[in-house]
Chains A and B, each alone.
Chain A
């Protein structure tokens, strides 16, 4: 049956004709069209937007969307060993509960008194991240690790007034792409090689490339290829010796067990907080952190918002606000400051909830479980015929590289066979790191059980032999 009155959409209350007439009367206009008097006829769109018929009943919309989403197969339905910048970790229920609260979900830019809650929650996020990182200043999160790394390098360039960054070539290809786009013409990006056995930074190459124009050395620990570099202090010292900064990217979920970069000389630490309570969301849950010591020369170069604690006109009351709002670079200003905008505050609040739930014990537990699970998986896979570990001498945390070359098979081929068994193999590196051969980056987390890993190893063995 068709509706016998003009449709009043639930999202648009003032579609009611009588209300519109009343409002137009108050305005003194004959029609809504008249309100568009400044849009000239040649710019008026008189066609019809070719959009599908609306699903006006909420139930119809739900049915339609659920049918479309049903075409996805999830990492809950399949067994997944995908990582590489987006990881499947456990999301505690309280994280989802707080993230879904209307007040946080639909809040935006209220003042410190009326939006006290988001200021405090984000201040606490900064504070808990600072404990995890053993640093003193942490930003309100930016878009993701790509942006956090790009900004960290630009900060280093401003602080040192230099124009080159040495970047470990074990970095993720998409991070490198974003950094290059962001820094081009302002900071020269030079790759530093790796040791083929351990995946650690090649110190000889680093020494050869360090020069007086180097603003920073950037490396990730563990790296995109999963390897832990225990030469952090050496690298930092080499950088510091020529007046450059040490910038380190780190996975926060590793820091319950791994030494935080600040303890081996890092001046700026950055990374992604997706592991701390954000669902994967097809890559939508990323958010970047940047941390430094509380020194004016660092703080003044943050382009991010920094929420600080302060008093109010009521004695004893906590208030919050933007620390050093007029952050200004007094260095030579050939390169302008960066911009900020709506980024990922809600993910920051959620990560704060995660850290509060986990506490020191939980962060250690989760890190240790990941370590053990991945050690087990790597060991089992290394025993398979047709599979070869890349960086066999590496220490690693949750990801490691396997080369299927000895089996004479492409990663694609192996992964297709695994999918048929309900398994998502690792991230295919054969196009991005061709020098590693037919290689995949395998990720194991705290969510994997022994049975899961055994099943994966068995299926992988079959695929390699097939």
Chain B
């Protein structure tokens, strides 16, 4: 029997292979792949190669890697893959702020085609016109989407793009002779934590703005914060609460009047494509995560890409090279007088560029706007439904619609039942659903952030809601069931008993075996 279409609850069970660690599967002598050996003529001419090395540079003991036949390696990793709940399989709307959406399979075909994968970044430009065209066109597309004037694809993710923005801010003020004086970057608590940490890594003092009682960043606080020391404002809008800051222009104006720059964290821009842009809001810099809004898959945590955009006046500070076109072809332009140099090797995470570009090519202007509008429709539908669930609430902006996501709170459920966010996260896994548990900083108690992008059908949203309803019901009727979950996931609750103790933690198998042998920890 298939799932009960009335209750919308699946009798789910995730694959559990109880798979050993790969070292435990090793059988000395087995081979997973044979590597090519040097042609006889070569060996004749130069010998075994190894004797050419200085003796102290010849490895004495071979690395103790596992030894398995090829099918055994394949099987092991296929089993591990089955023990992973990817976005292709679940209704992945519980990973709020991360914009989990469909990553079209056709784009994977492009990104795995030899015509792309077997291209070296330092080939002559004439031999890479295809990929250069794709990079250049994506730059043009993002200019239309943001209103800014030029994009670099060098950063390898959103946090990396923030590092890029901060580096450009520094270069800009140094050029104006204000590098030492302008040492503060302002951000908000509901902006991504990397706006804070990636800015401070360059030595900037970071000034945080707290939300007012309505959850909005406090404009008066910003006005109190700006000064001749202000280097920049890094801000998200809408913030992680899903509330759009309608006064954003007043923010960017106040910073500009003080001589600072404004960087727009558009890691997630999924609700506002074609609706509102960085340019009109007064930003000098922005970035988009191609692995969020623009559909490149997340790959268990990368490779990602943070496309970094700038106005014309900040173009000279972008990382090199940029891809330009002179009408007859595409070329790499290293001639940026004030460039911050390199953030990442070569030109960035090209597979993400190819996929994002292809996604935009498939949707066009109207399609992009429709994606945004449906993401917002989905979100507000879900919002209405979640608010009907016992124990759930959404702080701030009561009665207002949200953009692409909502930060909810299970505070009431926790107070009444003892079941909190973490327990719900664990229990959702029993229904094949995911809800992530990180919402730092913990401004909202027992938080839950849902972001139902345009990819999910109404039936899928209803299924997610049904599961949340069920878990809430269980919390009131049988809280132990929830608090001992998961019951049908790959493993049970993690123990957290060895991860913080230097005597016991083990980041590698050899470390684990050593600590077990020394009696510092027990074998599992």
Q: Do chains A and B touch in the complex (CB under 8 A)?
A: yes
Say yes or no: A342 contacts B304, CB within 8 Å: yes
Q: In the complex, what's the smallest C-beta–C-beta distance from A345 to chain B, in angstroms?
A: 3
**A121 close to B249 (CB less than 8 A):** no
Known: A230-B54, A345-B299. A71 touches B70 (CB 8 A): no
Interface contact A103-B373, CB-CB below 8 Å = no
What 0/1 pattern do residues 127 to 140 of B give for CB contact below 8 A with A? 11111011000000
The distance from the CB of A373 to the nearest CB of chain B, in whole angstroms, is: 6
List which A408-427 residues lie within 8 A (CB) of chain B: 415-416, 419, 424, 427
B77 in contact with A353 (CB, 8 Å): yes
* A74 close to B380 (CB less than 8 A): no
| A188 proximal to B (CB < 8 A) | no
> In the complex, are the beta carbons of B65 and A308 less than 8 A apart?
no
- Known interface pairs A310-B494, A365-B34; A178-B118 also in contact (CB < 8 Å): no
**A310's contact among B59, B65, B158, B499, by CB below 8 Å, is which?**
B499
Tell yes or no: B413 within 8 A of A by CB. Answer: no
B458 contacts the other chain (CB 8 A): yes
Q: Are the CB atoms of A228 and B403 closer together than 8 Å? A: no
Q: Please name all residues of chain A whose beta carbon is closer than 8 Å to the beta carbon of B414 when the two chains form the complex.
A: none
B56–chain A nearest beta-carbon distance, Å:
6
Whether the Cβ atoms of A124 and B22 lie closer than 8 Å is yes
Given contacts A11-B363, A72-B119, contact A146 B65 (CB under 8 A): no
A86 contact set on B, CB distance < 8 A: 120-122, 345-346
Contact A48 B120 (CB under 8 A): no
Asked whether, in the complex, the Cβ of A40 is within 8 Å of the Cβ of B507, the reply is: no
- Counting residue pairs across A and B whose Cβ atoms lie within 8 Å, the total is 720
CB-CB nearest in chain A for B379? A35
Contact string, B458-472, partner A, CB cutoff 8 A, digits 1/0? 100000000000000
- Cα–Cα, bound, A15→B369 (Å): 11
Segment among B225-233, B253-261, B350-358, B474-482 that sits at the interface with chain A: B350-358
Do the beta carbons of B119 and A280 come within 8 Å of each other? Answer: yes
| B274 contact set on A, CB distance < 8 A | 45, 49
- In the complex, which of the residues A97, A109, A314 has the most CB atoms of chain B within 10 Å of its own CB atom? A109
CA distance A293 to B277 in the complex (A): 48
Across-interface contacts of B210 in A (CB, < 8 A): none
Binary A-proximity of B8-22 (CB < 8 A = 1, otherwise 0):
000000100011011
Q: How far is the CB of B17 from chain A (nearest CB, A)?
A: 9
Scan A143-161; emit 1 where CB is below 8 A from any B CB, else 0: 1111100000000000000
Also in contact, A283 and B347, with CB within 8 A (given A312-B494, A342-B298, A359-B65): yes
Give, as a whole number of angstroms, the nearest-CB distance from B147 to chain A: 8
- Which chain B residues lie closer than 8 Å to A4 at the CB level? none
Report the minimal beta-carbon distance from B418 to chain A, rounded to whole angstroms. 17
Interface pair B65/A358, CB less than 8 Å apart:
yes
Query: What sequence of 0s and 1s flags, for each residue 43-72 of chain B, a beta carbon within 8 Å of any chain A beta carbon?
Result: 101111110111011111011111110100
Q: Can you give 21 A-B contacts (C-beta < 8 A)? A: A11-B455, A14-B454, A19-B457, A23-B381, A32-B374, A38-B403, A43-B276, A71-B133, A74-B114, A108-B92, A114-B490, A124-B22, A127-B508, A144-B344, A279-B118, A283-B350, A319-B495, A339-B198, A356-B68, A371-B50, A450-B41
Query: In whole angstroms, how far apart are the Cα atoms of A353 and B22 in the complex?
Result: 10
Closest 9 CB pairs of A and B: A283-B346, A341-B159, A54-B364, A283-B121, A284-B350, A117-B84, A346-B299, A357-B32, A345-B301
Residue of B nearest to A53 (CB): B364
Q: Which of A94, A342, A416 contacts B157 (CB 8 A)?
A: A342
A307 to B358, CA, bound (A): 34
A126 in the interface (beta carbon within 8 A): yes
A12 touches B455 (CB 8 A): yes
A61 in the interface (beta carbon within 8 A): yes
- C-alpha gap A199/B502 in the complex (Å): 40
Which one, A108, A130, A446, contacts B95 given CB within 8 A?
A108
Q: How far is the CA of A265 from the CA of B473 in the complex (A)?
A: 59
- Which listed residue, A109, A260, A299, touches B98 by the CB 8 Å rule? A109
Note all chain B residues with C-beta closer than 8 A to A43: 246, 248-249, 276, 280-281
Contacts of A15 in B (CB 8 A): 370, 374
Does the CB pair A32–B131 fall under 8 Å? no
Please tell me if the beta carbons of A112 and B494 are within 8 angstroms of each other in the complex.
yes
- Whether the Cβ atoms of A38 and B42 lie closer than 8 Å is no
Q: Please classify the interface of chain B as helix (H, G, I), strand (E, B), loop, or mixed, using the class held by over half of its residues.
A: loop
> Within 8 Å of chain B (Cβ to Cβ): is A306?
yes
Contact B454 A11 (CB under 8 A): yes
Q: Kindly supply a per-residue 1/0 record for chain B positions 103-116, scoring 1 wherever the CB is within 8 Å of any chain A CB and 0 otherwise.
A: 11010111111111
**Closest A residue, CB atoms, query B339:** A177
Residues of A within 8 A of B74 (CB): 94, 97-98
Greatest chain A CB density within 10 A among B67, B130, B134 is at B130
Chain B residues with CB under 8 Å of A465's CB are: none
The one of A54, A117, A128, A306 in contact with B66, judged by C-beta atoms closer than 8 angstroms, is A128
CB distance from B197 to the nearest CB of A (A): 4
Whether the pair A9, B370 counts as a contact (CB closer than 8 A) is: yes
Report the minimal beta-carbon distance from B77 to chain A, rounded to whole angstroms.
5
CA distance A376 to B31 in the complex (A): 28
| Residue B76 is within 8 A (CB to CB) of chain A in the complex | yes
Among A259, A317, A362, the residue within 8 A (CB) of B59 is A259
Pick from B60, B79, B341, B458: contact of A180, CB under 8 Å: B341
Instruction: Give chain A nearest CB distance to B221 CB in angstroms.
Output: 20
B209 within 8 A of A: no
Most buried by A among B109, B117, B202, B376: B117
Instruction: Return chain B residues, CB-CB under 8 Å to A307.
Output: 507
A181/B167 in contact, CB under 8 A: yes
**Residue contact B53 to A228, C-beta cutoff 8 Å:** yes
Q: Known contacts A130-B508, A299-B502: does B39 contact A450 (CB below 8 Å)? A: yes
Q: Is B275 part of the binding interface, using a Cβ–Cβ cutoff of 8 Å? A: yes
CB distance from B319 to the nearest CB of A (A): 9
Q: Is the CB of B507 within 8 A of A306?
A: yes
Q: Kindly identify which residue among B67, B458, B498 contacts A360, using a CB–CB cutoff of 8 Å.
A: B67
Is B122 a contact of A427 with CB atoms below 8 Å?
yes
B401 touches A29 (CB 8 A): yes
A204 at the interface (CB under 8 A from B): no
B438 within 8 Å of A (CB atoms): yes
Instruction: Return the contact of B345 from the options A82, A115, A283 (Cβ within 8 A).
Output: A283
Rounded to whole angstroms, the CA-CA distance of A23 and B512 in the bound complex is 53
Q: Which of B127, B200, B304, B344 contacts A146 (CB 8 A)?
A: B344
What 1/0 flags go to A100-129 for Cβ under 8 Å of B? Answer: 111111111111111111101111101110
Cβ of B507 and Cβ of A136 under 8 Å apart?
Answer: yes
Contact A343 B304 (CB under 8 A): yes
Residues on B with beta carbons closer than 8 Å to the beta carbon of A140: 301
Say whether A143 contacts B156, CB under 8 Å: yes
Q: Residue on A with the closest CB to B510?
A: A130
**A317 touches which of B144, B507, B524 (Cβ 8 Å):** B524
